[in-house]
Amino acid sequence: MKQHLPHFLRKCALSILALAITQASFSQSGIFTEVEAGITFGPSNFLGDLGGTRGIGRGFLKDNNFPMTRFMVGAHITAHTSPLLAFRLAANYGTISGKDEIIKGQGGWEEARKFRNSDFRSRIIEGMLVAEVYPTVFLEWDVEDLYRKFRPYGVIGVGVFNFNPQGTDPLTGQYVNLKDLSTEGQGFPEYADRKPYKLTQMNIPMGLGVKYFVSERTSIALEIIHRKTFTDYIDDVSTTYIDPNLFDQYFGVGSQKAQLARRMANKTDQSGSANAGYGPGDKRGTSSNMDSYYSFGFKLNFKLQRSEDDYKRIKCPTMRF
């Protein structure tokens, strides 16, 4: 997983450089009043079938598990059409994860999830185009005066992300890729309604933030962005358990892949009595609730130009950390 990060950051840097070179023409055309670029970093978390808290599993923050918090980093470029509206193009890289083992059983519905005993992790690579709306500019006396000013804003847009769920092999303790194992019969004729899921999906990022202008050219911001997705397989869990003999049928009797699929599809304790663990047809996940994830972002923003006179001087922006 680590090998993807340097390549991703290089692509982000090249993208921002290309956009920075073209931003002068945007300003001269009168479309954008200013353009800024920056970086984002902060914690991220997953909301899906795995993990959760007391009672029946719910969406959004009710089932948030802080011990599974990971991190996300990214880069962005934002073009302001006016003090009220801006458009941001961003690319982010991070990790999300979930684990049933951390559930604190209290004798309720959460016990079924804890007994399921599944886990996953996935790296996330995403790109998004969002609108930033600053509604409080209507209350400002002088919208041009930015020094030491706070501006809250809302975010809504569209994005695309790539994921690859991995789970811990109970035999070796190593992480293995889950998609090709068809843990819920995806692609098997017996489950014609369960198509193999795609690792690249669309999402809808939405959130809130507040920006503080340290100077006329530099600002910092804190925001929370929730990603609504259209897949329930970010964690490779969605519907019901299948007959494990199907893995032998389609992957080869006794083959290494068939044995691995058996272990990863059902991690409940199958020893002891016949009813010890979950079996074919038993609930494994909740397909009616799509997976989602969110992140808290700490942003550093640097204006790429100050005025039209700056272009005449052909002066590069100075960044201080």
- Give one DSSP letter per residue of 117-147, joined into a string: --EEEEEEEEEEEEEEE-GGGGG-S-TT--T
Confidence of residue 115 (pLDDT cuts 50, 70, 90): confident
Give the pLDDT of residue 112: 78
Residue of 252 and 28 predicted with greater confidence: 252
Among 3.40.1280.10, 3.40.50.10490, 3.40.30.10, 2.40.160.20, name the CATH number for the domain at 4-164+199-229+289-313.
2.40.160.20
At residue 22, the 3 state secondary structure works out as helix
Residue 124 has pLDDT above 90, yes or no: yes
Q: How many CA atoms lie within 13 A of 99 on its CB side?
A: 12
Confidence of residue 291 (pLDDT cuts 50, 70, 90): very high
The one-letter amino acid code at 96 reads I
| 132 bridge partner residues | 86, 155
Residue 247 has pLDDT above 60, yes or no: yes
**Average pLDDT of every residue of the chain:** 83
Sign of CA dihedral 102, 104, 105, 110: negative
The CA distance from 207 to 155, in Å, is 5
Give the pLDDT of residue 66: 75
Model confidence over 81-98: pLDDT tens digits? 989 999 999 999 999 999
Specify the domain boundaries for CATH 2.40.160.20 within the chain.
4-164+199-229+289-313
Across 20-29, 112-121, 188-197, 312-321, least confident range: 312-321
Give the pLDDT of residue 139: 86
Q: What is the pTM of this model?
A: 0.81
Give the pLDDT of residue 306: 54
Model confidence over 58-68: pLDDT tens digits? 555 656 677 78
The CA distance from 209 to 150, in Å, is 11
Across 106-115, 152-161, 190-199, 232-241, least confident range: 106-115
Residue 176 has pLDDT above 90, yes or no: yes
Give the pLDDT of residue 32: 60
Give the position of tokens 């509206």: 85
Give the pLDDT of residue 320: 36
